[in-house]
Amino acid sequence: MEQPVTIQPWLDSLQLFGMKLGLDNMQLMNSLLGDPASRLRFVHVAGTNGKGSTCTYIATAAKLCGLRTGLYTSPFLVDFHERCRIDGKPMAPEAFQRAIAKVMAIEPEVVQISGVRPSYFEAITAAALLVFEEAGCELVIWETGLGGRLDATNIVTPILSVITNIGLDHVQHLGDTHAKIAAEKAGILKPGVPLICGVNHPEARAVIEARAKELGCEMRQLDRDFSLRRYRKSFGPAGFSQALDFEGRSGRHQFPIGMGGLHQLDNAACAAAALEILAEKGVIADLPAAFAALVHARLPGRLQVLEKGRLLVDGAHNADGIQSLSRSLSDAFLGQKFHLVCGMMADKDLEALLAAIGPKAASLSCVGVSNPRALAPELFAERARAVLSCPVAAYANWSEALAVTLVKKDALTLVFGSLYLVGEVLVGLAPESVNSDDL
């Protein structure tokens, strides 16, 4: 849904200035808006991959335990208003219009004081604070946009911080080693605020642990302070499901989740550990009910099953994400191969990503994505042929590719490589799944 013409040109104009890391403008905007950040309770979540799923698990459990719950994520898949969800539903356009009008009104004062216009993400983030406050949210699950330390979301003091994992992505902004990126992610930590850590890279984990100790943050580490194992999995036309055995400070609990993939085990474990802390703080009154609610969590475009089980779509778009996707496919489908339909942004390490998924390829269809940063299909195909031994073809868009692959009976089709691409597919094939009340 498009924004009203009174605000859309203004938002578009902010995008001309690109991304801007730093907190000064965001802190100023929050102050000029009356400091809504101080009147909300947050769970602040950072990480390279998995943070969206982890946020969705926590938000779903909080909602089904009776809390008025806000969820802030990016990017959106189908509709802009997905960025802010209230009790699982996208914010009302009218609510966003009211909020962004207030942000527009303070822009002259922001520029007068700082000399700099707000960035697009700063404006959206400031508006989100107002939307959640107006809705009376009792808990806001607050996902970082990029990094953590200098991300616009980092003006809040949460009741709990979560770092899901660390991988090499956005290295031009965050650093080219796991340790450097971990330092940026650890920037969300606040003095005395507990931390759930799902990071398994030793060097990255050591950086985060040192920062947590420095700030007096109790840190609960995956596979040390809490753990999870799977004892049942299933796949069918309706999708994936897994049954889990979690052990944490509150004891041992068994519960199912409705999202597939090996990587969801770590995400669900981090979410369960976060729910334990929220229960200890009295935010959640019924911890077993919160665990039971995790089966209802769904995140569109994460190993989502369409076309009666013949098509999978996944938003994996960086090396760690695609390696996790490849492992999950091996786990769920043993030695099967797939007709891959892929569109990527031009700034990704294409050869490394294709090397990770290549063993799963029966064929590769390189497709265009409606984004100015996207890699052209013909260039994509030319580079892919140098890496893969399977048949490679270029198509203008995903629908042309699926018209070819879905009629083949020898393998399922998998769409991946970009959340923008996944969004386009869901608009065309299953828009209703994006705004399910289960979110």
Domains in the chain (CATH in brackets) are: 8-296 (3.40.1190.10), 304-433 (3.90.190.20)
State the pLDDT at residue 238: 78
* Pairing mode, strands 84-86 and 89-90: antiparallel
Alpha helices in 77-219 (DSSP H): 93-114, 120-134, 171-174, 178-185, 202-215
Q: What is the pLDDT of residue 1?
A: 43
| Of residues 86, 54, 53, 82, the one with CA closest to residue 68 | 86
**CA-to-CA dists, residue 303 to 97, 236, 315, 344, 363, angstroms:** 33, 12, 8, 17, 19
Do residues 314 and 301 make contact, with C-beta atoms less than 8 angstroms apart?
yes
Angle at 169 between CA 366 and CA 22, to 5 degrees: 125
Neighbours of 18 (CB within 10 A): 8
Q: Are strands 239-248 and 251-257 parallel, antiparallel or unpaired?
A: antiparallel
d(CA 419, CA 313): 10
Please report the pLDDT score of residue 4 as a whole number.
47
Q: Rounded CA gap, 188 and 313, in Å?
A: 31
- Residues in the chain where the model's pLDDT stays below 70: 1-5, 16-21, 168-176, 435-439
Dihedral (Cα; 318, 323, 325, 327), 10-degree rounding: -170
C-alpha closest to that of 146 among 290, 22, 273, 327: 22
Using alpha carbons, select from 50, 60, 108 the residue that is nearest to residue 294: 60
d(CA 141, CA 280) in angstroms, rounded, equals 17
Contacts of 141 (CB under 8 A, 6+ apart): 42, 43, 45, 55, 58, 59, 62, 69, 70, 71, 72
DSSP-derived 3-state class of residue 343: coil
Q: How far is CA 326 from CA 119, 321, 350, 353, 401, in A?
A: 36, 9, 15, 10, 21
Using alpha carbons, select from 305, 220, 279 the residue that is nearest to residue 58: 279
What per-residue confidence (pLDDT) applies to 437? 52
